[in-house]
Each structure stands twice: as structure tokens, then as C-alpha cells.
Copies of this chain bind each other. A is one copy, B any other.
Amino acid sequence: MKKALSFVYLLLLFVSPGFAQKQATWIWYPGDFEIWLGNNMQNRRTERGTFLPPFWKLDSHYNLIDFHKDFDLTQAEEVDLFVEGKYNVKIDGKAFSGFPKRITVPAGKHKVSLKVFCQDRVPAIFVQGKNVVSDATWLVTFEDKEWIDETGKASDQSGTTWLKAGSWNFNDSQTPPSKFKLNTKELSAVKVDKKAGSLLLDFGKETFGFIKLRGLSGEGNVNIYYGESREEALATATCETTDFLQIDKTQKRDSTMELTKAFRYVNVQYDGSVSMDSVSMLYEFLPVADRGGFRCSDEQINKIYDVAVYTLHLNTREFFIDGIKRDRWIWSGDAAQSYLMNYYLLFDSPSVTRTMLALRGKEPVTSHINTIMDYTLYWFISIYDYYQYTGDKAFIQQFYPRMQSLMDYCLARRNKNGLLEGLAGDWVFIDWADGLSKKGEVSFEQLLFARSLETMALCANIVNDAPNATKYNQLATDVKGKLFSSYWNESKHALVHSRVDGVPTENVTRYANMFAIFFNYLDEEKKQAVKQHVLLNPDVPKITTPYMRFYELEALCALGEQSYVTKEIKDYWGGMLNLGATSFWEEYNPAKKGAEHYAMYGRDFGKSLCHAWGASPIYLLGKYYLGVKPTTPAYATYLIEPQLGGLEWIDGKVPTPDGDVSVYCSTKEIKITGAAGTGTLRFKSKTKPVCKQAEVRSVNAGLYEVTVEKGKSYVVNYRP
């Protein structure tokens, strides 16, 4: 009873307006926690016990930060301070002595400021008063230029740049940013094959976390071999990840591995007097809920969708990473796809911005992002997408200077033709594909470059930088112009792959052609030409990575070829499922056999069997089957164009910044519920459709539209 009373009392205390406290949150210099966390995560990669860090420059957080905010209080208040680092605190520029944990801010207008130095962690503060609370409205700088002259007069700080503080969801004073950890949940293997001195565990599907040896004791060695496949776990000499332990425990104790691993199978071998009661795992995950969903009449597609969702979740961690077994790094091209899938499943913007900030790092730019030219360009394009889906202007306002300096880097690397060509240290990646030429001016890179410049123009307009908006637009027009004047081959009906020494090659690849379609860079005639002569042409080299399959199928969807795409999805992703995949792979070549599928990079088990870019059906099914996409930023207006793609019915949800759009579509009926903003349902019908909830407009022969309002449901009877 006493407890219940206390609870009520506490409840009153918090809801009573007199006591109501605003919610404080840990804050830092924007982008800095992201960089720090990225360093930590990316430096956890090991390969058979060898530390394997990234090969590009890692940046650091600013180690000395000034935080401040102006308050106007009706009465004085006590304020608690929690700080990561060595600090001082001032009210109206007057410092307190020492490192106070509580201060009183007097009534009236006052500036509260803290200055924090921290080298190993990100300088961060958590300020909790009633009204004086730390949040994203505080201003921060890494150089306050607060000098005084010989009389003690302070400088005017007019040269200081203040940004809004960065934050996430660290709302507990006792859990500072440096203590951030993903969640864990203990799971057991579904099957254990126990022999003398060994255990082979099968966790039933691809998974990720810490192996836990329960009730471990004795003296001897424990060697753990991890496998995404059974073959890998048994291949003790060539499996990619391992843990080697020396045990000397007289008392039984649980022992959890220090580092996470990716696996389905775990081969635990031990000797000496070592014994253990059992082996389990702590599954590690970012707690983020699915908002989108998809079901249809085809059970294989449903299974593909579910495995894609699981694949994306496994790769959605501190950041959107490439794959859980091997790199566990942040790769811009991989992440660009995760962002897009995210918009159709999680709609978790912090995961997008965290990833983009970690990728961008700090000045100076000394190489392309991840050293890859295309990956720098994807970074820009991802901002274009991010703004379209979320309408987050604040992000662009805070980080426009970092966009500019990265674009300056690109502009400085143009060749005499104004095009991008790999210079020393530039990795021109495009795709993992045997014999793919990276020489000269690759058309694909120019295409991404043009879109990046368009992104810069968009952002320049958002921050009211009109001269640069004009500049970027002109540059984009110029590069787009060159794309067609230099690479379009009339007899091949396609953009050719590259120009070497000023001469266009005869080589046609899919890359530039498919992007040109969904970037809408081609007129209708060229679109159809590309469709026939490239996309549906078996003589053009096939794509074998889910990475580029993503864009290839997107291009086909954008051309209305959903029925073809349905078959491709079933063949390709279904093909992996048929081989027992429980998550989707880095690369899949149906021509390979058995354990050949696991090899890559010249290593038997080099391939990642859980790669984010394998999850693209989430995006394709959401955007091109349910057919929901914003037409203005943040879904202020949006389109719903359901496409069955040969399926009998589809049913799902697409998240938006404010509410979900529900779509059901069969060959007879379309049912829609709208989110905030104004939706337009667009569909074809051979007969005049009927909708009781709204007017059906005829756009042109056989094409109809219905306006979809927030929260309202519509049923349309039609005949596709």
C-alpha cells in the first residue's frame, strides 16, 4: 500500500503544474557523438582475432565546447548539472568556482553557459532545472573567441559560429552518451550437437550478438569458430571470425565474449579440464519498431519480405552498416539503400542522420567518403531523398557547410572536361562485378555527380544561399548536358559505360542507364529504348549483387514493369531462400553451387550472408507496389499508385512523418487510409471506378485520381 501511495504522490509531483519539469536531454556539438560512436563501432571489427580498422581517415569530436542558452525565469530555480568532461559553468559570464553539481539560476533574464573539455569522450552536458534544461535549442561552438583586452573588456564574439546542440534520446542524467549501448536479449540455440570437447550450436537463423558460455569452469582452451553457414563454423582454419580463450576458473562462472559476432552456427571447442553448462547468446539490437508492412497473395514474396525486414534490422545498429559479419563499417553506398528501405519500414530519422554525420566526418576533406568516388556522391543524393521523405530543414541548415566543403572537394577533382575521373587514391567502385572497367570518365559517376549538384542547389535554396544555388544548378545542367552529348550512343540506344582519353567506349553497362530512368533524366523515347536495349537485354552483362539489383529493379518498376520485377524478386531473392538463406546476401550468383556461394575476396567464407543491401524488396514493394511516395517534402503531398505486379492482392502500410498510409489493392478493390498531407490515389481502370468517400477524377483515358485526406479511409471499386 505504501508503495502505491508513493507512486501516486510521484505522479502528482510530476503532473502538478507547479512542479512540472521540462524534459532534459544530453546534448553535444552536433555531429560529434555520431563521429565518436562511429569510431568506436568501426574499430570493433576483427578478422580471426586480428583487429581490422577502416583504411580511411577517422575524425574526432571537438574536445572543447561552449554550450549556452538564454533563459527568462519568473522565479529562481535550482539546476542540477551532469557533465562529461572537465568544465566550468557561468551565469552571465560570471564563473562558479570548481565543478559545481548544482547551481541556482536567479529570476530574470540570464545566460547559462558551460564550457567542457574532454578528449576521450564527447563533451556533453545534461542540465536539469525546472525550466533550465538542456535540449536541442542550446547553442554550441568549438571556438568562442572570448578574449579580453588589457582593461578586462571582453571581445564581441562576432566571429563565432554557433550551431544548435546535437542530441538523440539520452534523457537520463545517469546514462551519458559515452555509456550508450544497444539493447540485448538472451537467446538459446535451437539445436546443439554436443560431442566430447565440442559443441556445435545452431541458432536457427542468422543472428548477431555476444556468445555466452554459461557455467564455465576448469583449465584449458576454448576456441570458438563462428559461421554464417554450417560449413564456415566447421572450417576452423578459414572461418572469418573466432574467439580464442584461455580458461583458468576454479569456480563456475558465466563468461560473455567481449565482442559481438554474426553467426547462425557456433562451433565451440575446448580442452583440458574445461567444462560448461551450456552456451547461449545475447542478441544485440537497436530497439526500433516497424511502422511499414507488406503482405500479398504470394507466400514466397511474403517470406522474402520478412527475411528482408530481418536483414535490415540486423544491419540497423548504432548506424546503418553494410553487413554484420565482416566490415561492420559504415559505407555510404550501402547506407544510401538502407535509408530508402528505412523510409518504408522504420521511418527512423535519427538512424539516417546519425549515419550521414558519421560518414561525413569533419573538415578537412582528404578523400572521398570511404575513399569511394560514388560513395561521396551517394551521400549527397541521400540528403535529397532524406529531405523529400522527412522535410528536415534543420539538418540541412546545420550541416550545409559540410555539404559545401565536400562538394568543393569534388569540384576540385574534376578533369579538364569538367567531369569526374578517378585520381590517385580515388576508388571508383560502381559494383562488385568481374572485369568492370573503372578507367577514364565513367558515365555512371557523372550521373551521380549531376544529381549531387542538384542536391546542392536544393540545399542552397533551403539555406537562402541564392548565388550558390545558381552556381550548383548551372553545374548540374552542364554535367547533365555532357552526359548526353558524350555518352549517349544512338545506335546502341543507351548511355555507354565510359569515355577514355576523350573517346566514348562501345561498352554498354546497366549502371548509368538504370539510374537515368528513376532520376527521370531520360525522355519517354529514350526510356523505352533503354528498357528494351539495356534493362531487358540479356546480352548486357548481368548484375549479380543485390546492391545493384536494387536500382535495376527500381528502374524497371519506374517503367511500370512490376510484373517482370515480381518474377525477378521471386527468382533472385527466392533463389537465396531456396539455398536456405535466413537473411539476404552480399552477392548471389545462381550459377554457383554449394559452398561456392560463401566465397568472396579470394577467401572461402569471405562473403557476408547478411548484407543490408540485400533487403531492397522492402523499398521496392513499398514504393512501387503499395506505390506510396512523397511528391513534396515530408509528404505534404504524396502519391499512391498501387501496382499489383501480377499478384492477386497486396496489403500494407507506409510510414510518413505524421501517420501511416494504408494500402490494400486487389484486382477489384483499392482501400486506402491517408496520413497527414494531401495524398493522390492514382490508378488505371478499364471501367469507371466507384468511390463512395470521394470524387473520382478522370485524368485521361483510363487513368483516375482520388484525393486522400488525413486519417480518412477510401474504398474504390475498379477494374485494372
Which A residues fall within an 8 A CB radius of B? 36, 39, 43, 47-58, 60-64, 86-88, 95-99, 115, 117, 119-120, 142-152, 155, 157-160, 244, 363-364, 366-367, 371, 423-427, 432-434, 600-603, 606
Q: Which 9 A-B pairs have the closest CB atoms?
A: A159-B425, A152-B602, A120-B120, A60-B60, A49-B97, A363-B364, A159-B424, A158-B424, A57-B143
Asked whether, in the complex, the Cβ of A88 is within 8 Å of the Cβ of B50, the reply is yes
Task: Please indicate the chain B residues that have their CB under 8 angstroms from the CB of A434 in the complex.
Answer: 150
5 CB contacts below 8 A, A to B, read A51-B117, A53-B117, A119-B119, A147-B371, A152-B603
Contacts of A88 in B (CB 8 A): 50-53
Chain B residues near A371 (CB-CB < 8 A)? 143, 145, 147, 159
Verify A50–B95 contact, CB threshold 8 A: yes
Q: How far is the CA of A602 from the CA of B150 in the complex (A)?
A: 8
Contacts of A53 in B (CB 8 A): 64, 86, 88, 115, 117
**Complex interface: chain B residues within 8 A of A54 (CB):** 64
Q: Which residues of B contact A426 (CB under 8 A)?
A: 159
Contact between chains at A63 and B39 (CB < 8 Å): yes
A50-B96, A51-B87 known; A423-B159 Cβ under 8 A: yes
Task: Specify which chain B residues have a CB less than 8 angstroms from the CB of A424 in the assembled complex.
Answer: 158-159
Residue of B nearest to A147 (CB): B427
Given contacts A39-B64, A148-B601, A151-B601, 7 further A-B contacts (CB under 8 A): A36-B119, A50-B88, A53-B64, A53-B88, A56-B145, A98-B244, A145-B425
Expressed in whole angstroms, the Cα–Cα distance for A371 and B146 within the complex equals 9
Cα of A366 to Cα of B159 in the assembled complex, Å: 10
Assembled-state Cα–Cα distance A433/B160 (Å): 25
Can you name the residue of chain B whose Cβ is closest to the Cβ of A148?
A: B601
Known contacts being A119-B120, A158-B425, is A150 close to B432, with CB within 8 Å? Answer: yes
Chain B, Cβ-Cβ closest to A120: B120
Evaluate contact between A51 and B147: CB separation under 8 angstroms.
no
A593 → chain B closest CB, angstroms: 19
How far, in whole Å, are A119 and B36 apart by their CA atoms in the complex? 9
Inter-chain CA distance A433–B151, complex, in Å, is: 10
**A58, B64: Cβ atoms under 8 Å?**
yes
A432 to B49, CA, bound (A): 59
**CA A377 to CA B602, docked complex, whole Å:** 54
CB nearest neighbor in B for A154:
B55
Which of chain B's residues have a CB closer than 8 A to the CB of A366? Answer: 143
CB-based nearest B residue for A89: B50
Residue picked from A36, A51, A60, most chain B C-beta under 10 Å: A51
With contacts A48-B97, A423-B159, A424-B159 taken as known, whether A55 is within 8 angstroms of B363 at the C-beta atoms is no
Provide the residues of chain B in CB contact with A57, threshold 8 Å. Answer: 62, 64, 142-143
- A55 CA to B145 CA, complexed, in Å: 5
Q: How far is B150's CA from A658's CA once the two chains are assembled, in angstroms?
A: 42
Contact check, B63 vs A367: say whether CB atoms are below 8 A apart. Answer: no
B143 near A55 with CB under 8 A, answer yes
Q: Which single residue of chain B is at the shortest CB-CB distance from A161?
A: B366
When chains A and B are docked, how far (Å) is the Cα of A159 from the Cα of B61?
A: 25
Q: Is the CB of A119 within 8 A of B601?
A: no
When distances are taken between beta carbons in the complex, the residues of chain B under 8 Å from A150 are 432-434, 600-601
A584 to chain B, nearest CB (A): 18
Q: Please measure, in the bound complex, the distance between the C-alpha atom of A87 and the C-alpha atom of B61, giving whole angstroms.
A: 21
Closest chain-B Cβ to A125's Cβ sits at a distance in Å of 14
A143: chain B residues within 8 A (beta carbon): 55-57, 366-367, 371
